[in-house]
């Protein structure tokens, strides 16, 4: 008898949700950077465990929204949890134990999530992440404190980065999947359309390269995706930034930064699509890209959230 279901991974920005999703799937399905609010819309990844198929739903971080895009992201994250057979609340252990401004923000976000879970009446699995960076004895107090909120059925201590504890979590998720035929072929790992996946990969390289200078204000759109006669693919993408002053940041001196971004993205795309890729990047300034309806529809976000 086969089992299949959805497991949503929710948590504060930067908790490691995408890293965990990729680790559970065993392939890169969602982009990862050191920046908060990297994931902008729910991304599915398919993990197999024996006869069980676990469709992971990596979600945007849940935080105090200010702009339209923020609200849509947070709405989408809770939506992912609503529809799931299992919810994993991923908590960054280090952020809970430290006291920098970013850590305090993360702590407030965790409180909001606990309150949201309480209101939903659903029990979640608490997964305390990044245990590679904290002392063992601190973890005990942390997990006890969180468990006492009453919104969790169980606790796992994991490191999404080095894999510690992740197999146990995977086995548990598999056991929670209801009887169902598989939703995806057993060898499929991702379900984002190629154009969107290609745009995400370029966005990841932008963040990795210019994360300090560029806040959350870049978007990437694939404008052309053409199969070529030689078996390769020609991809054209537009990088949107919000201010004229950000264009030179993305371009870099003599175009060096954009060149690096293009090279790194192309290397990954070649591997992903397993054929030659010709990638062309353009930079456009559009103050209002984050307020355009099409952008939301294209990635499955609710414009009116």
**Binding-site ranges for Mg ion (CB under 5 A):** 17-18, 38-39
Judged by beta carbon, residue 23 or residue 266, the one nearer ligand GTP is 23
- Give whichever of 17 and 203 is closer to Mg ion, judged by the CB atom: 17
- Placement of tokens 């430290």 in the chain: 98
Contact yes or no for 129/156 (Cβ under 8 A):
no
- Which CB, 216 or 225, lies closer to ligand GTP? 216
Complex with ligand GTP: residue 32 or 299, whichever CB lies closer: 32
Question: Is the torsion defined by CA of 140, 108, 103, 7 positive or negative?
Answer: positive
Find the binder of ligand GTP among 8, 28, 33, 266 (CB under 6 A). Answer: 33
Distance CA 165, CA 173 (A): 13
Minimum distance of ligand GTP from residue 236's CB (angstroms): 26
Residue nearest to Mg ion (CB): 39
Q: Which does 68 bind (CB under 5 to 8 A by kind): Mg ion, ligand GTP, none?
A: none
Euclidean distance between CA atoms 158 and 61, whole angstroms: 18
Q: Count CA within 13 A, CB hemisphere, residue 108.
A: 10
Does the footprint of ligand GTP cover residue 39 (CB under 6 A)? yes
Q: Beta strand 218-227 with 233-241: parallel, antiparallel or unpaired? A: antiparallel
Q: Which of residues 56-75 bind ligand GTP (CB under 6 A)?
A: 60-61
Residue pair 23/163 in contact (Cβ under 8 Å)? The answer is: yes
CA 81 to chain centroid, in Å, comes to 14
- Shorter beta-carbon distance to Mg ion: residue 31 or 126: 31
DSSP 280: E
Give min distance, CB of 269 to Mg ion, in A: 20
**Angle, vertex CA 250, rays to CA 245 and CA 254, nearest 5:** 100
Q: What track of x and - describes contact with ligand GTP for positions 123 through 152 (by CB under 6 A)?
A: ------xx-xx-------------------
Rounded Cα gap, residues 30 and 32, in angstroms:
7
Phi, psi for 17 (deg, rounded to 5): -60, -45
| Partner whose footprint covers residue 80, from ligand GTP, Mg ion, none (CB < 5 to 8 Å by kind) | none
Shortest reach from residue 99's CB to Mg ion, in Å? 24
Region binding ligand GTP by CB under 6 A among candidate stretches 45-53, 95-103, 155-163, 206-214: 155-163
Burial class (CB in 10 A: 0-12, 13-18, 19+), 286: middle
Stretch that binds ligand GTP, among 36-44, 81-89, 199-207, 270-278 (CB under 6 A): 36-44
Q: Kindly determine how many residues on this chain lie close enough to bind ligand GTP according to the rule CB under 6 A.
A: 24
Q: Pick from 14, 143, 202, 237 the residue near ligand GTP by CB under 6 A.
A: 14
Dihedrals phi, psi of 184, to nearest 5 degrees: -130, 155
Identify which of residues 15 and 46 has a Cβ nearer to ligand GTP in the complex: 15
Q: Which is nearer to ligand GTP, 16 or 80 (CB)?
A: 16
- Give the nearest distance from C-beta 58 to ligand GTP in angstroms: 7
Joined together, the tokens standing for residue 228 give 């070529």
């Amino acid at each position: 008898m086969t089992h299949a279901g959805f497991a949503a991974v929710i948590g504060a920005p930067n908790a490691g949700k995408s890293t965990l999703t990729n680790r559970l799937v065993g392939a890169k399905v969602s982009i990862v950077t050191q920046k908060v609010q990297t994931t902008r819309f729910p991304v599915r990844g398919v993990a197999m465990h024996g006869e069980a198929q676990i469709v992971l739903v990596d979600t945007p971080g849940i935080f105090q929204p200010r702009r339209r895009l923020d609200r849509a992201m947070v709405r989408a994250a809770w939506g992912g949890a609503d529809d799931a057979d299992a919810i994993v609340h991923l908590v960054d252990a280090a952020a809970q134990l430290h006291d920098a401004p970013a850590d305090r923000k993360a702590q407030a976000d965790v409180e909001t999530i606990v309150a949201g879970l309480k209101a939903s009446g659903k029990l979640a699995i608490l997964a305390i992440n990044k245990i590679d960076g904290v002392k063992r004895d601190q973890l005990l107090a942390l997990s006890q404190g969180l468990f006492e909120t009453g919104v969790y059925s169980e606790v796992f201590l994991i490191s999404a980065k080095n894999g510690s504890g992740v197999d146990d979590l995977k086995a548990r998720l598999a056991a929670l999947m209801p009887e169902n035929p598989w939703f995806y072929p057993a060898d499929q790992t991702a379900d984002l359309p190629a154009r969107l996946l290609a745009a995400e990969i370029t966005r990841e390289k932008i963040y990795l390269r210019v994360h300090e200078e560029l806040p959350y204000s870049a978007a990437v759109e694939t404008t052309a995706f053409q199969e070529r006669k030689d078996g390769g693919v020609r991809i054209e993408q537009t990088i949107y930034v919000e201010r004229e002053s950000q264009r030179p940041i993305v371009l870099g001196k003599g175009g060096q930064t954009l060149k690096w971004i293009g090279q790194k993205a192309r290397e990954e795309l070649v591997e992903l699509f397993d054929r030659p890729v010709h990638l062309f990047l353009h930079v456009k300034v559009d103050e209002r890209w984050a307020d355009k309806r099409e952008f939301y529809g294209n990635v499955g976000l609710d414009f009116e959230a």
